[in-house]
Amino acid sequence: MSAGSTTGSEGVATGRGDAGAVVMVLGAAASVQVGAGVAAQLFPLVGASGATALRLVCAALVMALLVRPRVRTWTRRQWLLSAAFGVSLAAMNSAFYAAIARVPLGVAVTCEFLGPLALAAVLTRRARDLLWVVLALAGVVALGLGGDGAGGRLDPLGVALALVAGGFWAAYVLLSARVGAAVPGQGGLAVASVVAAVLVAPAGAAGAGADLLHVHVLLLGVVVALASSVVPYSLELVALRRLPERTFGVLLSLEPALAALVGFLLLSQALPATSVAAIAVVVVASAGSTLTARSRPRPDRGTADATGTAAVAGATPVPPPGATCARRDPD
């Protein structure tokens, strides 16, 4: 524990100056984007649908083995919520991977951010938050005008798919809060990840066939699952015990910029200056929305949900905009 840390009623560190926790959050965000970059390298081998299936199946296996949810005692509501959570997870990842097969990674993540940012504005019902969404939307529009960095226009279908992924990301945020409140521990996440894997596996198998079973492809799939899910989720769980929720959200607002950087370094996706400026506008909008959001007391008890906020039994929390962007799939 750092010198600037304090301890809450449950003995959980809530320090506000923990540099290690900041590094964890930034490392988690970077890990997610590296995972997406590695997944993009799978596209020539198994296609976007094959990469999606491989990633979700690997993540589901890891999650099921680690959690081993006791589903025999579940109620019908717990099953339905977890299944719906899995559907949102499958749709979100399928749309996102299809998007990054058509547009640069930084562009796709920036467009996707509109989903949870708009959700935060709707849930808080304040005009100020709507202004942040309008600013982010302006950034996305400018992004479309900036081109793809290779002298051409952005693929409209790729942009549309990224926006669809953002819409399912917003649904994922709402469902994650409900699942976190209804299902103890991480059982809901485990079942949702299995549901998502079952939903995407047929399309992946149909598109890639036996290529999915090549050792090189399987190893890349494991890397993607670990980098995009297991590693960042683990880091965020620790960081959330040490950082204020608002600081956590602001740090995650940097994810579009990190995505652009990873796209440049890993995939050679250079963006024009106008696109870089547009991404910066979206980052500012997300960070600003998080900073001006109403503060909520951190609950003493509850389980950390998939967005990185705490789910309290019987309540659906309104997550700060940056925190709603915490994790697409914490498998």
What is the mean pLDDT of the segment spanning 3-27? 59
Structure tokens at 314: 């019987």
Provide the 8-state DSSP code for 7: B
Phi, psi of 310 (to 5 degrees): -100, 135
Separation CA 302–CA 292 (nearest Å): 25
CA angle 77-329-305, nearest 5°?
55
pLDDT tens for 208-255 read 888 888 998 999 988 998 898 878 877 887 887 787 777 887 888 888
Question: 134-168 pLDDT, tens per residue?
Answer: 888 888 888 766 665 555 678 899 999 999 999 99
pLDDT score for 313: 25
Please write the tens of the pLDDT for every residue from 103-131: 999 999 999 988 888 887 777 777 777 88
Bridge-partner residues for 311, per DSSP?
303
d(CA 147, CA 159): 11
Of the candidates 251, 285, 256, 278, the residue with the CA atom closest to the CA atom of residue 109: 256
State the pLDDT at residue 295: 55
The backbone region for 68, taken as left when phi is positive above 0, alpha when psi lies in -120 to 50, beta otherwise, is: left
Question: Residue 77, CB half-sphere, CA atoms under 13 Å: how many?
Answer: 6
**Cβ(269)–Cβ(149) below 8 Å:** yes
Question: What is the Cα–Cα distance from 234 to 186, expressed in whole angstroms?
Answer: 12
> What distance in Å separates the CA atoms of residue 130 and residue 322, rounded to the nearest whole number?
15
Distance, in Å, from the CA atom of 272 to the CA atom of 65, rounded to the nearest integer, reads 44
- Reported as a pLDDT band with limits 50, 70 and 90, residue 271 is confident
Continuous segment of H or E residues that includes residue 304: strand 303-304
pLDDT at 6: 40
Spatial separation of the C-alpha atoms in residues 182 and 142, rounded to whole Å:
41
Our measurement of the distance from residue 106's CA atom to the centroid of its chain's CA atoms, rounded to an integer in Å, reads 14
With 0.85 as the threshold, say if the pTM is over it: no
Among candidate residues 55, 63, 57, the one with its CA nearest the CA of residue 39: 55
